[in-house]
Amino acid sequence: MPISLYAASIPTLIHTLKALRVVLSKADAHAQATKVDGSVFLQGRLYPNMFPLVRQVQIACDFAKGAGGRLAGIELPKFEDNEATFADLHGRIEKTIEFLETIKPEQINGQEARAIEIKAGSRTFNFTGQDYLLTFVNPNFYFHVVTTYAILRHFGVEVGKGDYLGAP
């Protein structure tokens, strides 16, 4: 039996967002234990021209909610990009998960050929629903999640592959 578009999207996005929440909790605890201001981690980056950790989490959440909304053909919630603490990032992740949990399989399954247009700056991307998920959402979502993880590892937070993968 082939995998459904819903099964390939919503549950996996939620699973990874929950794992990201655990990683951020460990980072917050590490900052407190080492008496380092949490903003050092939140504004941390691997290289000067990269987005800081806080923006990585915001973008990961945006890709997740974008996938759910666009594949289901419903309006996306708008989030302000004003998170400044670990608690704020947890709130954004929670809002994203709550939105994704409202989406039902019947809203997404069968939308593999749905036309999806994304405008990014002066560029326009056109996809089918399946290509949007597999070639645009997934690579971008996981890139920003793993970059968050890598920034925290760079700053000495003790997280491992199991934290990134999340509990089964």
- Is pTM beyond 0.85 here? yes
Do the Cβ atoms of 57 and 150 come closer than 8 Å?
A: no
In this prediction, residue 140 has a pLDDT band, given cuts at 50, 70 and 90, of very high
Domains of the chain: 10-165 (1.20.120.450)
> What is the per-residue pLDDT across 109-118, written as a single tens digit (0 to 9) for each?
999 999 999 9
Residues 6+ apart with CB under 8 A from 89: 24, 42, 54, 57, 83
Q: What whole-number distance in Å separates Cα of residue 136 and Cα of residue 165? A: 20
> Looking at the predicted structure, is the pLDDT value of residue 1 above 70?
no
> What is the per-residue pLDDT across 28-71, written as a single tens digit (0 to 9) for each?
999 999 999 999 999 999 999 999 999 999 999 999 999 999 99
Do the Cβ atoms of 61 and 68 come closer than 8 Å?
A: no
> Looking at the predicted structure, is the pLDDT value of residue 125 above 70?
yes
